[in-house]
Structure 1
């Protein structure tokens, strides 16, 4: 980084990938920037934890081959080894295990026709082609999907098709049912299934450690208030490590936190913007990572999506970790967040369902780690294009303020990181 005479001092609130993207872009542009995170670690909903001393990620960890901006950031941190995560895709449909292992176009079409009507299949293939041949349609607010009618998916597709084809997408990406996700967000889900994925052999932590050596990071720091004067942000009231809040001056701020959290900070400053952000729906999700005494899955089936119940999916943690299983509990049946007793029952039931599908005997558990998020996934809005237009108009009323997060471009890691870059660019324009 080369500091110039025009360099300014910025703050980025939020240590997830949106905030990291914004802070790194500001840093590379030659500005002084501080990243403020109220938790004790970076990573946000990546959910860093450990399983018997082994670092694991309870949240998002798979990196798509089309994640160009995120992969460029990772490459800047040094040489990192990836391992493919192209695991077999299986799901339960009416009690039967159905596996799609690189079926090709013809095989995929047969699968769609089996799961719904020809109209359902044709409609999904049309939208899938729009995503495949136009990269912008992988993100919210594209010309194609931004102009889509504001109907929920269950209003455009048949009930069986929603349950067997669309629900595995929506509960994974939005923790929501097809009746809670709008057609304008479908491109994000289709972009997800059209990509291929890798994961970092050593995880994301070494990358974040490198980042924290480049950009000042203040962990355990709570933002109590955004301070504005004469229509411009001039700083923040910060409470660090439990101490009383003190004012810190900044030339601009990026709010890279979930929409509802940003709304709380913005209500005294820009009430209209706060009200708009509160329109965004979020849904809870719970993850359990279980280490077994011996391999639980096999090489033929390594992940299963369920069509009902609180457990939406179960699969191996890594391509070679057949003895470590990650259970995800999301969707309507996984609400509200369970207490410890109910979660233990959910894990028992999910394990029994997987064993029944794979015809496996009972295998003893070595250890289990769990994590719940009250607002894990964003379900977006009926009219995302109109929502974004209102955000821009309301942001214009306060200079030195920009937004980043999963509610702008999408929930996938690349979309979050790109939203941070866009916020940094707008802040310095």
Structure 2
């Protein structure tokens, strides 16, 4: 018996995670990626020869699955970054720093109503008590809130002050969604990210991805044109590489692309599942990283969150010791019209500088260089009624042989949530241990023959 083979469509963090877990099980795997590098929305760009992560650079201390992955890839040390965020309140900058976490929480709580605190405290307790159960999409605690609340949008569950000061920075930064667009049933995935401590890979993401690609076959610059389906079973893929179409056959295909991309690939053969995936919303985001001659931020203030009337949602230092490198993030409703107009990176960095300088003046600090990217499907805002979505998704996808799906829409948009969803996907893959063992024995026999 030949060793079973799996094609993983998409080289973002979900695709990397799926391929990693398949490889651990001894299954032959190949990644198909349309871009010229691995990473997807976590892919790096160059800033004067330095690799700069445009997404996912901050790694939570509680990201256990991702940290197990980095450890399995060799020596990839972490360094402290922390959680530091400032907001504008009554024209003044108010800073929340994890080193003074409870003092900061008390400062913010002063402006919140009693009703808000009564609702928020049990939510925080639920996530902190059991992060695995209630810190990801599908949380029983938050789904019960979804069911019992008539209008389950966060903006209607909490009052304006709490929404603007505490909730919006989380939903806009993580999902690109305004609180009036975000479901209370999905809020656990935001709180679990907020109540963590963060580090960065000391050498960046590139060495990690390079090591991974040395272990798993990857076809870059290769786009998936369609699935090959025979008698209702997915048996392969039709790909386009260097203007040449090619049919590739596999025992299983795993789609790790954004839900809307997967929906378009499934539309002709599996319209019901395609329609379910179309319920998942994505919002655009642009990230621009600029280097300046002198520090822009200071040791106390390392990031600034902007109000809803600004297209710039966040600006902050790239690293604790990189206060001269600023990361501008454009997301939220005010940014969508600008991002839909295909702005240049130069226009965006200029807009970011004008907005930031209203609160932190740095006009006499010349810009040295910049890089960045505009991502139309940058931030996943999930399905609004996740409980119903997941029920339909599981039922419809389980009926399709030879196909699995996973991604940021199943457990959450954080790196750890993508790894968790990928592991669940691979653990449920219907390839028996006997077939895997036969594949391993065949590999040994072939090696001995050489």
1:149 aligns with 2:167: no
Within 2, Cα distance between the matches of 1:338 and 1:289? Answer: 20
Change (3 A) 1:338 1:94: farther
Bigger mean CA deviation after superposition, 383-392 or 117-126: 117-126
Q: Distance in 1 between matches of 2:347 and 2:225?
A: 39
Distance 1:248 1:49 in 2: 31
Q: Per the alignment, in what secondary structure is the counterpart of residue 192 of structure 1?
A: helix
Matched, 1:38 2:34: yes
Aligned to 2:13: 17
Query: Which runs of structure 2 are paired with 1:49-128 in the superposition (5 Å)?
Result: 49-101=45-97, 102-105=99-102, 107-114=104-111, 116-128=112-124
User: TM (normalized to structure 2)?
Assistant: 0.90
Aligned counterpart, 1:304: 304
Deviation per residue, 1:243-270 (Å, 9 max, x gap): 1x22111111110000000001111121
Distance 1:227 1:263, change over 3 A: same
Q: Secondary structure at the match of 2:41?
A: helix
Residue matched to 1:411: 413
Q: In the aligned structure 1, how far is the partner of 2:242 from the partner of 2:135?
A: 40
**Aligned position for 2:208:** 207
Q: Separation in 2 of the partners of 1:210 and 1:79? A: 10
What is the alpha-carbon distance in structure 2 between the residues aligned to residue 93 and residue 411 of structure 1? 29
Checking the alignment, whether the CA contact within 8 Å between 2:12 and 2:42 is kept in structure 1 is yes
Secondary structure of 2:37's partner?
A: coil
* 2:267 is equivalent to residue 270 of structure 1: no
Q: Note if contact 1:36-1:219 (Cα within 8 Å) is conserved in structure 2.
A: yes
Structure 1 residue 419: deviation in Å?
1.6
Distance in 1 (alpha carbons) for counterparts of 2:351 and 2:240 = 43
How far 1:312 moved relative to its partner? 0.6
Tell me which moved more, 232-241 or 200-209.
Answer: 232-241
Alpha-carbon distance, 1:339 to partner: 4.9
Give the aligned CA root-mean-square deviation in angstroms: 1.8
Structure 1's unaligned 5+ residue stretches are none
Deviations 1:70-120 (A, max 9, x none): 111101111112111114221123422111223343641341231x21111
Partner of 2:284: 284
> 5 Å matches for 1:327-338?
327-336=328-337, 337=339
1:375–1:94: structure 2 CA closer, same or farther, 3 Å change rule? farther
- 1:171-250 alignment, distance < 5 Å: 171-243=172-244, 245-250=245-250
Q: Deviations over 1:138-197 (max 9, x none)?
A: 110122123331611011011222111111011111111100100011111100110111
Given that residues 9 and 31 in structure 2 are in contact (C-alpha distance below 8 angstroms), is that contact kept between their aligned partners in structure 1?
yes
2: distance between equivalents of 1:94 and 1:348?
Answer: 26
- Describe the SS at the equivalent of 2:180: helix
SS in 2 for 1:214: coil
Question: Secondary structure of the residue that 2:162 maps to in structure 1?
Answer: helix
Find the aligned partners of 2:349 and 2:205 in 1 and give their Cα distance.
27
Return the alpha-carbon distance in structure 2 between the equivalents of residues 402 and 190 of structure 1: 29
SS at match of 2:429: helix
Deviates more, 1:120-129 or 1:278-287: 120-129
Shift of 1:385: 1.6
Moved more, 342-351 or 158-167: 342-351
* Partner residue in 1 for 2:321: 320
Q: Deviations over 1:24-56 (max 9, x none)?
A: 111111111111001110000013110111110
CA contact (8 A) 2:84 2:303 kept: yes
Q: 1:41 to 1:384 in 2, by over 3 A?
A: same
Asked if residue 354 in structure 1 is aligned to residue 356 in structure 2, the reply is yes
TM-score with structure 1 length normalisation? 0.94
C-alpha separation between the residues in 2 aligned to 1:165 and 1:44? Answer: 29
Displacement of 1:239 in angstroms is 1.6
CA distance in 2, matches of 1:306, 1:32: 47
Contact 1:166 1:178 in 2 (8 A): yes
1:370-390 deviation line (CA, Å, top 9, x unaligned): 211111111112321211110
Structure 2: distance between partners of 1:372 and 1:379: 17
CA contact (8 A) 2:154 2:184 kept: yes
